[in-house]
Structures are given as C-alpha cells and as structure tokens.
Amino acid sequence: MAVASRLDTGRAFAKVLLPTLAKGVIVRRRSAMAMAEWTQADAAAVDTMTSLRDRYGPEPLRLRVTGRSVALVFDADDVARLLDGSPEPFALATTEKRAALNYFQPHGVLASRGEERERRRRFNEKALRPGNVDVGSVVRDEADLLVRHVTSTGVLTWDSFAQTWWRAVRRIVLGSGARADEALTDELKVLRQNANWAFLHPRRHGVRQRFERRLRDHLERGETGSLAAVATPDELVGQVPHWLFAFDAAGIVTMRALAIGGSGAAGVLESARLWPTTPVILRESTLATRWHGTWLPEKTTFVVFTPYFHRQFGDAYRPDLWPNSEPALVPFSGGPGVCPGRDLVLVSAGLMLDTLREHLDVPVLRPPLPATLNHFALRLPAARR
Ligand code: HEM
C-alpha cells in the first residue's frame, strides 16, 4: 500500500482538501468562491491529484495523519467499489459528515446508520419521486416572472436567479403558502453557515428551534401538489431540512448550465460534472478492507475527489456523455447511496434551464471551460430581439 510522504500529505491537504473546505462544504462563501476562481483552485487540485497518482500508482494512497487512517482514491474501479459497497462496509455517515449535518438535520438519512438509515433511505426514495409534485407549473410560473425582469433589466444575475429559485423550491417542497417565506430559508442558511465549521462552532439552539417551528407550520398545511403532502409532518420534519439545503446545489448547477448554453437533463448533468457541487465524496469503512493486496484498517476514511475523475472527460460541454456508464462520473454519487433527489432535480432544474435559456444570449463561456467557476459573479445578458 502506498503511503504518502509527509511533504505529499501536506500538498494533498494544501491543494486538494483545504481549498474545498474553504469554499464552504455546506454553504458556499462568496469571498472564498471569488478567490478560488481567481486562483483557479480546482485546476491546482486536479494537477496535484495527477502528480500523486503518477508518483504512487493507482491504489488508494494513505495520507500521514496522526491517529486517523485516511486514503485518497485514484482508480475508477475503486470508486465503484466504494459506492456499490455503501452503506456496508463503506458508510456514508462518516465522522465529519455527522458533525456537520448535526447542526441542521440530525435526523437526516445522510447522518444515520444501520436500520434507522435503511428506513429513512426508503422514505426519501419514495417521497422524492418527481411524479409526487406539480413541478411543471411551479417552475414555469416562477420562470415567467423572472423572464420579465431579465427582459426589462437586460441581464440575469445570480441574485435575481436565486430569489426566483428559492420561491420555486419553497413551493415544490412546502406549497404556495411558503412561497414568500424567505425567513425560513434564511434561518436554514445561518444553520448551514455554522455547519461549515463543523466541529468548532457552538450550536445555535435558538435558531434551530425557530426554524423547526416555522417548518412545522408549513408542513401542517400539507398542501396538495407539494412534497408536504406525501407524508405526515412528524415523518417529514427530520428529512425536509436536507431537501431544502440540497436544492441550493441544484440552483447553482442550473445557473452554471445556463452560462455554458446547456439544455435539459444532460445540461444539468454536464454542469454538475464540470463543477461538482459535492466535490468530495467520503466513505468510512466499517471493517478492515483489502485493496490491491494490502489491508486498510476499519474506520479508514476514503476520499473521492470528483473533479479529478470528471475532468478526465474534458473541459468542454459534452451532453453526449449522458446517460452515462462510466463508474467515476458521479455528480450525484452512485450505488445504493446515490442522491435520491436526482430525478426531481433533473426535472425541476432542467425545466428552469430550458425556460430561461430561450430568453438569454448564451453561452457566455466557451471551451476550455474554467476549472473553478464562481456562480455568484455570473451575468448572463438577455437575448437581443
Ligand atoms: C444538483 C443538485 C444535487 C446534487 C449534485 C446532489 C448530489 C448528491 C450527492 C453527491 C449525494 C451523496 C452524498 C454522499 O455520498 O455523501 C447526495 C445525497 C443526497 N441527496 Fe442529493 N444532490 C442534489 C440535490 C438534491 C435534492 C434537491 C434533494 C432533495 C430534494 C437531495 C436529496 C439527497 C439526500 C436525501 C441524500 C442522502 C442520501 C443517503 O444518505 O442515502 N439532493 N446528493
């Protein structure tokens, strides 16, 4: 088994892991995103991964971390093995994720283990079927309003897009009664900002309780046509914070897909391939496992840095890659832990993308597409009439 030198462990942290943390794992930070784009941090991260792979070979590379077993993954088949072997023997609920997610979704499926996880997973899969909600009319409604704004101002900015996106998301998840409840998603953002600092930040019990009360009020209405109607408030209240949180990524992916002139589900998938919103997929082994002839101990954290794999398919918009059969093309993860919201995202984000793109002068970005793209700074001009 290859073990990285101290210097190379330092490089892996400095160039791959810490810059990803700095951008914000749970909620993106504006200043850090701008800095990351300026330095093209993801290009340096992919180069570092490539040089480690050249030096140590394709098997998982152990980093020298005191008291922990941590391994970087380089081989597409090893990625498939980790994802197919989830949640046993490769648990999704790693120590880091549990610490971060405890802030705003302690009962979420991603932070759970064992029988409880299985139950919550089944619940999510069933609840998030796109046919459960009237996505089409919600997205078209909200997109039409935004198109009017874009036509009058001449430009689509992130801030105006995000406002529209969150209105649509609150309607999809909680119904029209939540459309204007910006305080709900703002409170969730505060909880998510604390989660960025996982181990270090004191818990905000006050904000958490306020958020949960507001959420419960919406769930009690159980509005037909929204996800709030698919189960009881008690069943939903532990899972919905993750849904609201994860729709943020879908908005970011949509805005970037617009910038490259993407369309439909393949446009959404390509945006998420080029700029994955979950750039680090983590798994923690629940027993000792054997890799290329060597044993790695129980509780080893495996790190899959997805941009390294995704960019092997190039720096251009390639809708032909989808639907895909490549084991390491995993913007929505894969195997039994694959994102259960994937289809709902492809339908809602794909529709938002297709409705807006007709009214914009896109693409604004052409190949080679940048390794890091700051969505906050995107400005997409309205189509010329
Ligand atoms: C572009 C948008 C999205 C992307 C790229 C994405 C990607 C992912 C990825 C990579 C994972 C696996 C995380 C891991 O292994 O640690 C995941 C898990 C999950 N996602 Fe998504 N997601 C998106 C949107 C959504 C939405 C909108 C929902 C719900 C409405 C959702 C619900 C979930 C849930 C519940 C899990 C946990 C699954 C489990 O633990 O088994 N996601 N997502």
Domain range for 320: 6-381
In a domain, 76, yes or no: yes
DSSP 84-143: HTTTTTEESS-HHHHHHHTTT-TTSGGG--HHHHHHHHHHHHHHT-GGGS-HHHHHHHHH
In a domain, 205, yes or no: yes
What confidence score (pLDDT) does residue 107 get? 85
In a domain, 144, yes or no: yes
Looking at the structure of the chain, the number of domains it has is 1
Tokens found for residue 342: 């994937």
Amino acid code (one letter) for 369? L
Nearest protein CA to atom 14 of ligand 1, as residue? 281
Helix (H) or strand (E) holding 157: strand 155-157
What confidence score (pLDDT) does residue 111 get? 84
In a domain, 74, yes or no: yes
Confidence of residue 204 (pLDDT cuts 50, 70, 90): low
In a domain, 87, yes or no: yes
Confidence of residue 110 (pLDDT cuts 50, 70, 90): confident
Helix (H) or strand (E) holding 274: helix 264-274
Nearest protein CA to atom 29 of ligand 1, as residue? 243
Give the contacts of 202 (CB within 8 A, at least 6 positions apart): none
Digit-coded pLDDT (tens) for 228-286: 999 999 999 999 999 999 999 999 999 999 999 999 999 999 999 999 999 999 999 99
Q: Say how many Å lie between the CA of residue 12 and the centre of ligand 1.
A: 26
Tokens found for residue 155: 């430009």
Residues with CB under 6 A from ligand 1: 92, 109-110, 121, 124, 128, 242-243, 246-247, 249-250, 253, 272, 277-278, 281, 331-333, 337, 339-341, 344-345
Q: Which of 248, 339, 346, 353 to mutate to test the pocket of ligand 1 (most atoms within 8 A of CB)?
A: 339
Q: What's the chain's average pLDDT?
A: 93
Digit-coded pLDDT (tens) for 330-383: 999 999 999 999 999 999 999 999 999 999 999 999 999 999 999 999 999 999
* Whether the predicted pLDDT of 201 surpasses 60: no
pLDDT > 70: percent of the chain: 96
CATH number, residue 32: 1.10.630.10
Nearest protein CA to atom 7 of ligand 1, as residue? 332
Digit-coded pLDDT (tens) for 284-299: 999 999 998 899 999 9
In a domain, 1, yes or no: no
In a domain, 120, yes or no: yes
